């Protein structure tokens, strides 16, 4: 799965359950969108998107999480160039991949990516995302998840202590109250994830 983090897949599933605690943008009076960029253990790229009423406090919390877990906060633009904004639809193992690919490409999707576990991802231009999603759903392919997200253009595989420290950093960032999303280009083996 080139450029897509196993961590992102795990977190996407987890976020579906926890997204309700996040502050909906429609009710963000007095709050602003802030993005932080930095490097985790082993040089992995990390982007953190927040909606906060206190930029200074949020910056301090994000910086502290990076430092405590062996990373460092970077300047604006230091890692964002490594990520593309994409429409992402996911389908569970057992989905008819050939038929899905045919329908998705007819609907205007950019790519259909099978995973080792036989789940399937459909990628779409963010501007075409709603149309692709509607057509696929209408044609019998309702996605398990559907969102406009960021996807790493390259990935970095971490092992051992660096991988464990990276997981701790990502969990610490996800746990901050005003954080909406955390993206990384890290690939972490199932073996390391199982230990944690």
Tens digit of pLDDT per residue, the chain (196 long)? 334 444 444 444 333 322 223 334 444 567 899 999 999 999 999 999 999 999 999 999 999 999 999 999 999 999 999 999 999 999 999 899 999 999 999 999 999 988 878 889 999 999 999 999 999 999 999 999 999 999 898 889 988 889 989 999 999 999 999 999 999 999 887 777 777 6
| Residue 178 buriedness (CB in 10 A; 0-12 / 13-18 / 19+) | buried
SS3 (DSSP) at 196:
coil
CB-CB neighbours of 4 under 10 Å? 19
> Measured between alpha carbons, how far is 129 from 147 in angstroms, rounded to an integer?
8
| Residues present in the chain in total | 196
The structural domains of the chain, ordered by start, are 6-81+153-188 (3.30.70.980), 84-151 (3.30.70.980)
Structure tokens at 173: 């960032």
Ramachandran category for residue 108: left, alpha or beta (phi over 0 → left; psi -120 to 50 → alpha) = left
User: Does the pTM of the predicted model rise above 0.85?
Assistant: no
């Amino acid at each position: 799965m080139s450029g897509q983090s196993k961590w992102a897949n795990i977190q996407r599933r987890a976020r579906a359950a926890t997204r309700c605690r996040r502050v909906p943008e429609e009710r963000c009076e007095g709050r602003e969108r802030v993005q932080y960029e930095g490097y985790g253990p082993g040089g992995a790229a990390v982007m953190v998107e927040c909606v906060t009423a206190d930029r200074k406090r949020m910056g301090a919390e994000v910086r502290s999480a990076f430092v405590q877990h062996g990373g460092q906060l970077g300047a604006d633009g230091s890692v964002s160039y490594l990520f593309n904004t994409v429409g992402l639809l996911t389908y569970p193992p057992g989905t008819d991949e050939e038929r899905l690919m045919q329908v998705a490409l007819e609907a205007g999707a950019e790519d259909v990516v099978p995973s080792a576990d036989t789940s399937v991802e459909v990628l779409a231009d963010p501007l075409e995302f709603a149309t692709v999603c509607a057509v696929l759903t209408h044609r019998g392919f309702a996605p398990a998840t559907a969102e406009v997200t960021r996807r790493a253009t390259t990935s970095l595989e971490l092992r051992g202590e660096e991988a464990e420290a990276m997981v701790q950093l990502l969990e610490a960032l996800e746990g901050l109250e005003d954080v909406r999303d955390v993206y990384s280009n890290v690939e972490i083996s199932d073996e390391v994830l199982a230990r944690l």
